[in-house]
Structure 1
Amino acid sequence: MSTIDVNNLLSQMRQMTAQVRPAEIAPKLAPIGAETLGKPSDFSSILKQSISAVGRTQMEAGRMAASFERGDPGADLGRTMIAVQKADLSLRTVVEVRNKLVDAYKDIMNMPV
């Protein structure tokens, strides 16, 4: 049975979100302290923000890829490839977070009462 360190998980999510969109997302995330750990709404809001950031990252990468494919004059291959890689990394991270949460839920449900 594995244990999940919530503070470490949230810290990693914040770091990844800040790397994806530093100016847009990072200021919106409220700092999590000991007084807010017990509130499920805070974790769920952070999770929702992270998932929406992944969606925006994927949409931006798709827009940049389509722009490059059309041959638009402002399209840059390097920036497009970086955006696509960021979108892929952020999606894989969200999937792994989901997998860890599902595993934790299964472990809790299998605990004897």
Structure 2
Amino acid sequence: MKLGGIDNSQINAMVAQLKAAAARMESAVPIAASGVGGINGEATAPAKLDFADALKASLDQVNTVQTTSQELGKKFALGDDKVSLSDVMISMQKANISFQTTVQVRNKLVSAYHDIMNMQI
């Protein structure tokens, strides 16, 4: 049966995918991190996320992407047959996008810092 151009089986398939994704997310969360079900029924504190660690991991990932892009460019320039021009260009664009994203995050952090410093107490 069709409802407004969408087949009922497609809707059921989408609902099944959403339920499967929700079940995977629930099973991936450890009991201690969920804040319930500690020892003797006591609630445990959720795991802390460290901003410095997240920022360092992000910067390391950007560095890795840029290094990979440079290596592919060198291999292509040296005439390696396994590296195509499209691979080099795509990796360079990924490196550029990740770097530009990092710069924008840095700009937002600096702006937030200035806003906080300019607040009157």
Match of 2:56 among 48, 54, 59: 48
2:83 equivalent to 1:75: yes
Shift of 1:44: 1.2
Note the residue ranges of structure 2 that are not aligned, 5 or more in a row: 1-33, 35-45
Note the residue ranges of structure 1 that are not aligned, 5 or more in a row: 1-32
CA RMSD of aligned residues (A): 1.6
Secondary structure of the corresponding residue to residue 53 of structure 2: helix
Shift of 1:106: 0.2
* Structure with higher RCO (Cα < 8 A, 6+ apart): 1
* TM-score, normalised via structure 1 length: 0.64
Structure 1 runs (4+) greater than 6 angstroms displaced = none
* Letter in structure 2 aligned against 1:48: K
- Of structures 1 and 2, the larger Rg is shown by 2
Residues 44-96 of structure 1 show CA distances to partners (whole Å, capped at 9, x for unaligned) of 11110000100010000000001001111111111111100000000000000
2:101 equivalent to 1:109: no
The number of equivalent residue pairs is 77
* TM-score, normalised via structure 2 length: 0.60
Q: Which residue of 1 aligns with 2:19?
A: none
* Letter in structure 1 aligned against 2:107: N
Q: Which residue of 1 aligns with 2:100?
A: 92
Percent identity, aligned pairs only? 43
Match of 1:61 among 69, 74, 86: 69
